[in-house]
Amino acid sequence: MLKAKHQQLFDILKEEFLRGEWPCGEKLPRLTVLAEKYSVSINIVSKAVDLLKNAGMVEAKVGDGIYSTFKVPVSINSLHYAGDRVYGYYRGAKRLRILVEDREVYQCAFWNRFFQDFSSENPDIEIDVNFHSWDVREGNTPYEAVIGGTAFLRKRIQLGEKGLPINWVRSFVPDLYQNCIYGMADFPGFLPYGFSCPEMLAIPGTPVPEPRENFLDYLERLPDSTLGYLVCSSRQLLACMGIDMTRIGTDLFSSADAEAMLSVFQRAKKMYDAGRLLWPHGKITDKERMFELLRNRQIQAMEIQSNVSRCFPDDPQIQTLPYPHGEKPCVTTHLVFISENTLYPEEYLRVVKALVSREVQQRGESERMFYSIRKDVPSGESEPLREAIQAGGVQMPGDDADIQSEAFYNFLGWEFYYYLEGRRGPEVIDLINRKIRYYYEHINQTEENGK
């Protein structure tokens, strides 16, 4: 039986909600705007919205409007994109398989639009996209391309798998990074498309960090308070204090390194014991609970990455502040990995080229997905960071070799936490040194055995 028009419109709107086009908390357009958009009467729109209310997908706020209350279910994490075929000529299409790190509703909405636009412009390509979160079981993946931050890529790329060789990248798209701050040779085996950096969310009255002020100097300068600062990344904290993990493996913990590190540990412990420095307990992705602590004035400030700030609802009582980076800002690069084993390198590179196009880069920055790597995309907020990247004046914790990152997360980060908890004493630096040294001496043998 043919559905009534308002039921048909409800189905259309429901599909848009499932695709993440109406994130939870977003205000829907007025009924007149929706009526014009879908070429129906206001009465039909009103009935369709009533069905959305009954389904628990929206709520009406008196005198304000209609707001989305819908969160994309975790099970909806795979989408298929295909452009229009030219019947009788090019009915077949190359199928690309892409794994994307982002899973927040607004992030999925960005990627959904990107892949829809791409597939409509490239009808010879079909794309299977999977949106994975941190709780996905680790293991080999059937995906030939992975999009995300360095930590995510490390967990999703097969051991020993190599990225597309740079000579083939240049062969297919020689102008890929024209007018960009990064080049294809900057991250061998990977292709950058954006970057992000830490920021702070804080209650009103929290002082702004001074230029070149590092984290502990800033924390010690804050007025005495019963509230603490919630840390989400020990790596960021140590990096801004001058603990350079990129040298590990070539110059393991000289006496000067050990002294400097112990000094940082001691200062941090003093703040930790006083309740000024807090570590979150629980799931790493439980951002909502952490934000509630801030909104309820149970903490002074918390750190976030600039690309996840839209996860939190707008609150006029919460201010966004720059992170106290110290001498060099900490920057996380967003990358695309394309397997050398793919049979469709040009097709995958077309995706990357679209991703670094001026239009998509502008949208990515305006929607807080990532900071643009293009020089011709205006941005007052990220411009100083772009200049610092070009001048080599930034740190990229996590962008170094896999082995260094594993050494950090397996040893340094945890031992730092145990020291703060009182489970380790001053000998912790020597313990970290010995653990990492053993790790380095045996990692190559372990990798060979695992092949």
CATH classification at residue 38: 1.10.10.10
Q: In this structure, what are the phi and psi dihedrals at residue 52, rounded to the nearest 5 degrees?
A: -65, -40
- Measured distance CA(149)–CA(336) in Å, rounded: 9
User: 305 with 421, same domain?
Assistant: yes
Query: Helix, strand, or coil here: 319?
Result: strand
Cα 385-217-397 angle, rounded to 5 deg: 40
CA Rg value for the chain:
24
Structural tokens at position 83 = 């452009």
Range of the domain at 216: 198-330+401-450
Structural tokens at position 180 = 């960009």
Strands 277-278 and 229-230: parallel
User: 379 with 436, same domain?
Assistant: no
Does residue 222 lie within any of the structural domains?
Answer: yes
Q: In this structure, what are the phi and psi dihedrals at residue 408, rounded to the nearest 5 degrees?
A: -65, -55
Contact 28, 65 (CB under 8 A): yes
Helix (H) or strand (E) holding 351: helix 345-355
Does residue 395 lie within any of the structural domains?
Answer: no
Does residue 396 lie within any of the structural domains?
Answer: no
Query: Helix, strand, or coil here: 443?
Result: helix
pLDDT of residue 88: 46
User: 302 with 381, same domain?
Assistant: no
pLDDT tens digits for the chain (451 residues)? Answer: 356 788 888 878 887 887 677 878 888 999 999 998 888 899 999 999 988 888 778 888 888 889 988 776 544 466 677 766 554 445 567 889 998 988 777 788 889 889 989 998 998 998 988 886 543 444 455 789 999 887 677 666 665 678 999 999 999 999 999 999 998 888 888 999 999 988 889 998 899 999 889 999 998 888 777 678 888 777 778 878 877 665 554 455 667 778 888 999 999 999 999 888 887 654 444 667 778 888 888 888 888 888 777 667 677 888 889 889 888 888 889 999 999 999 999 999 999 999 999 999 999 998 889 999 999 998 777 788 888 888 877 776 554 445 455 666 678 888 888 999 999 999 998 898 888 888 777 765 655 555 4
Beta bridge partner(s), residue 364: none
Helix axes 105-121, 345-355, angle to 10 degrees: 120
Contact 95, 128 (CB under 8 A): yes
- Measured distance CA(164)–CA(188) in Å, rounded: 9
User: 13 with 133, same domain?
Assistant: no
User: 85 with 99, same domain?
Assistant: yes
- Measured distance CA(303)–CA(92) in Å, rounded: 48
User: 48 with 126, same domain?
Assistant: no
Does residue 153 lie within any of the structural domains?
Answer: yes
Domain count, the chain: 3
pLDDT of residue 156: 66
pLDDT of residue 173: 96
User: 110 with 220, same domain?
Assistant: no
Contact 403, 440 (CB under 8 A): yes
Contact 311, 109 (CB under 8 A): no
Tally Cβ neighbours within 10 Å of residue 88: 6
DSSP secondary structure of 210-221: PTT--HHHHHHH
pLDDT of residue 79: 67
DSSP secondary structure of 124-167: TEEEEEEE--TTSPPS--S-SEEEEEHHHHHHHS-TT--BPPHH
Does residue 73 lie within any of the structural domains?
Answer: no
- Measured distance CA(101)–CA(3) in Å, rounded: 38
Strands 65-68 and 58-61: antiparallel
Burial 140-156, CB ≥16 within 10 A → b, else e: ebebbbbbbbbbbbbeb
Q: If DSSP states are collapsed to H, E and C, what string results for 164-210? A: CCHHHHHHHCCCCCCCECCCCCCCCCCEEEEEECEEEEECCCCCCCC
User: 183 with 284, same domain?
Assistant: no
Does residue 260 lie within any of the structural domains?
Answer: yes
Q: How many residues in total does the chain contain?
A: 451
The dihedral over CA atoms of 209, 211, 212, 218, expressed in degrees to the nearest 10, equals -20
User: 314 with 342, same domain?
Assistant: no
- Tell me, what amino acid is at 421? E
Boundary residue ending a domain (390, 413, 431): 390
Boundary residue ending a domain (16, 35, 68): 68
User: 324 with 339, same domain?
Assistant: no
Does residue 367 lie within any of the structural domains?
Answer: yes
| pTM, full prediction | 0.73
Q: What CATH number is associated with residue 244?
A: 3.40.190.10
Boundary residue ending a domain (47, 68, 89): 68
User: 215 with 250, same domain?
Assistant: yes
Strand arrangement of the beta sheet that strand 94-100 belongs to: 78-82, 125-131, 94-100, 145-149, 332-338, 191-196
- Tell me, what amino acid is at 78? S
User: 242 with 382, same domain?
Assistant: no
CA 404 to chain centre: 20
Please say whether the dihedral angle defined by the alpha carbons of residues 278, 283, 287 and 291, taken in this order, is positive or negative: negative
